[in-house]
Structure 1
Amino acid sequence: MIRAYYTAVNGATGNQNYLDVISNNMANIQTEGFKKSKAEFSDLLYTNIRGNEGEITNLKAGSGSRLNKSDVNFQQGALYSTGVQTDFAIAGDGFFAVQFEDENMYTRGGSFKATNVDGEIFLTYQGGYVLNDEEEPIILENGADNISVGVFKFANNSDLAQEGSNLYRVINEDAEYSMSEDSRVMQGFLESSNVDMAEEMVRLLTIQRSFQLNSNVIQTADEIEQTINSLSR
């Protein structure tokens, strides 16, 4: 029963972590340019089962599973027109770059703002400066017409990690990027989240059932242990 108890606890913990991933996806279904995450699990330690006389058999018992990592699905969402001149979307691969005080960060969200900073109008996002293809902050000198926003394409998108506020941080010091030549910047458009609500609901129901099953195993194992302890007194 000890094995059943700890295996079920591991399963319930994995279910909770998976639920956190699903909840974050569902919470951002209306966030422009948001990319959903997918949980990846790995098996925990397997041990050989011993026979009645203590000999090792070919049978193995698992110890459950754990959340190994959460991968971001960078599949493009649908583009839709807003008519707002400071809204931008990328048709194709790549990211917009946003300069903050400490570092540059990246996003697929394009709901930018025209912000007055010391008398000059900058294109900003989440408090940072949106960069052009020369990696310089964009100044709106002649209004919002014909703004040239840079699109930065990474050799490997796994070099980026979600930071929050619809931004990505570079986590690999050797990450390589270039200015995308085959992607198209669409002014007056935004990109929808790529979260599929129906898909997330199916996963949510599956996780709820799995969590309930693990909870029942934990309760049953605990009751059996209590019965055994009472009989041994």
Structure 2
Amino acid sequence: MDALIYTAMSGAERAMRGQQVHANNLANLDTNGFRANLELAQAASLPGYGYDDRHMSQIQANAVTDRQGALHQTGRELDIAISGNGYFAVQGPSGEAYTRAGAVTLDADGSMTVNGMQLLGEGGPITLPPHRKMEIGQDGTVSVLGAGADAQMQVIDKLKLVRAEASELTKNEAGLVVARNGQDLAADPTVQVKAGHLEGSNVSAVEEMVATMSLNRTFEVQMKLFKAADDMTSTGNKLITG
């Protein structure tokens, strides 16, 4: 009977952790550029002698969806969104990382940042000189119009834009997208940028709610299995001691 108890309890734990994943997705429904997490579960044998017939359910919440969120026009020259697949490169807390968030701000020294992290170009972090106007081209080229009266648009750098399959990506402890193999992704010239726009979250509220309700039912079933295993164990003990 204890084999059934292991199955029921690990299944219940998987359901609870899955609910946490979907709750986090719903919490970021209005977060620009957020990529929804996926819950992946797999069977794992219980280590130790005599436990070959007992298996646990292990959940992994480190997969992301690559579905594009809705693009919203803002008209702000520092707002950028990626059209199609791809990511912006930023300097994260533990190295290079990737994001779809495009609400760029300028620090006092002219550094381009996203959510407090420096935006990376092909030459490293991008810092703009004093200027009257800036433009971000479809290919990610960053140009500025200098402060002088006779100044002309000058290319400063080009955003580092990358692309990878969703299966090759995961999220780090800061919630940023990184490559599963731990390596930096190479720049991809085919990634397109749309200036004056922001991308919304790719979370579907309907899908998340349906998944949550399904996990609630799964949890209830696992608890019934646990109760059934406990009842069978109690009955077996009575027969033995009877």
> Which TM-score band applies after superposition, normalised by the shorter structure?
0.7 to 0.9
3-state SS, counterpart of residue 124 of structure 1: strand
User: Which string of whole-angstrom CA distances, capped at 9 and with x for unpartnered residues, describes residues 20-70 of structure 1?
Assistant: 22112111111111111222222445xxxxxxxxxxxxxxx8846432564
1:81-230 pair list within 5 angstroms: 81-100=73-92, 103-116=95-108, 120-139=109-128, 141-143=130-132, 145-147=134-136, 148=142, 150-163=159-172, 166-178=175-187, 180-230=188-238
Deviation at 1:139, TM superposition (A): 1.6
Between 157-166 and 102-111, the greater mean CA deviation after superposition: 157-166
Residue type of the alignment partner of 1:161:
T
Distance of 1:209 and 1:82 partners within structure 2: 42
- Is 1:15 matched up with 2:24? no
Residue type of the alignment partner of 2:229:
A
Q: In the alignment, which residue of structure 2 is the partner of 1:56?
A: none
Identity across the alignment (%): 29
8 Å Cα contact 1:31-1:192 kept in structure 2: yes
**TM-score of the superposed pair, with normalisation by structure 1:** 0.79
Deviation at 1:84, TM superposition (A): 2.5
Distance of 2:232 and 2:22 partners within structure 1: 34
Q: Please tell me the root mean square deviation across aligned C-alpha atoms, in Å.
A: 2.7
Distance of 1:214 and 1:109 partners within structure 2: 39
3-state SS, counterpart of residue 172 of structure 2: strand
Deviation at 1:218, TM superposition (A): 0.9
Q: In the alignment, which residue of structure 1 is the partner of 2:6?
A: 6
Q: In the alignment, which residue of structure 1 is the partner of 2:69?
A: 77
8 Å Cα contact 1:10-1:64 kept in structure 2: yes
8 Å Cα contact 1:129-1:138 kept in structure 2: no
3-state SS, counterpart of residue 145 of structure 1: strand
Distance of 1:100 and 1:34 partners within structure 2: 16
8 Å Cα contact 1:135-1:150 kept in structure 2: no
8 Å Cα contact 1:94-1:151 kept in structure 2: no
Task: Give the paired residue count.
Answer: 215
8 Å Cα contact 2:105-2:112 kept in structure 1: yes
8 Å Cα contact 1:123-1:140 kept in structure 2: no
Distance of 1:102 and 1:19 partners within structure 2: 28
3-state SS, counterpart of residue 35 of structure 1: coil
8 Å Cα contact 1:91-1:183 kept in structure 2: yes
Distance of 1:19 and 1:77 partners within structure 2: 22
Gap regions ≥5 residues in structure 2: 46-52, 137-141, 143-157
